[in-house]
Amino acid sequence: MRESVLRTLEIATTKALVIECTVPKPGNVSRYIDFPAQSFEHFLISAIEIGNTLPGLCARHALGRAVLHATKRMLNAQHSGNTHLGSIILLAPMLRSAYKKNGKLQFEHVSAEIEKCDWRDTLDYIKAIKLTDVERLPDIDGKMNVKSGTVGHVVSAHRISLIDWMRAGVPVNALCYEYVHGYKLTQEIAGIIRANWEKGIEPAVQHAFLYALSRYVDNLVIGKRGTGYAEALKARAEELFEEECAFASAGSMKRRKLENLSSELVSEGVNPGTTADLIVGALFTVFIDGWTF
Spatial separation of the C-alpha atoms in residues 103 and 125, rounded to whole Å = 25
Question: Per-domain residue ranges for the chain?
Answer: 2-288
* C-beta of residue 14 within 8 angstroms of C-beta of residue 52: yes
CB 208 within 8 A of CB 120: no
- Give the three-state DSSP class for 34: coil
Fold classification of 2-288 is Triphosphoribosyl-dephospho-CoA protein (1.10.4200)
For every residue of 220-285, DSSP letters joined together read HHHHHH-HHHHHHHHHHHHHHHHTTGGGSPTTSHHHHHHHHHHHHHHHTT---HHHHHHHHHHHHH
The pLDDT profile of the chain, 293 residues, written as one tens digit per residue, is 589 999 999 999 999 999 999 999 999 999 999 999 999 999 999 999 999 999 999 999 999 999 999 999 999 999 999 999 999 999 999 999 999 999 999 999 999 999 999 999 999 999 999 999 888 888 887 888 998 889 999 999 999 999 999 999 999 999 999 999 999 999 999 999 999 999 999 999 999 999 999 999 999 999 889 999 999 999 999 999 999 999 999 999 999 999 999 999 999 999 999 999 999 999 999 999 999 98
3 state DSSP class of 70: helix
- What is the pTM (predicted TM-score) of this model? 0.97
Secondary structure class of 12 (helix, strand, coil): helix
Distance in angstroms (rounded) separating the CA atoms of residues 98 and 289: 11
The span from the CA of 7 to the CA of 24, in Å, is 28
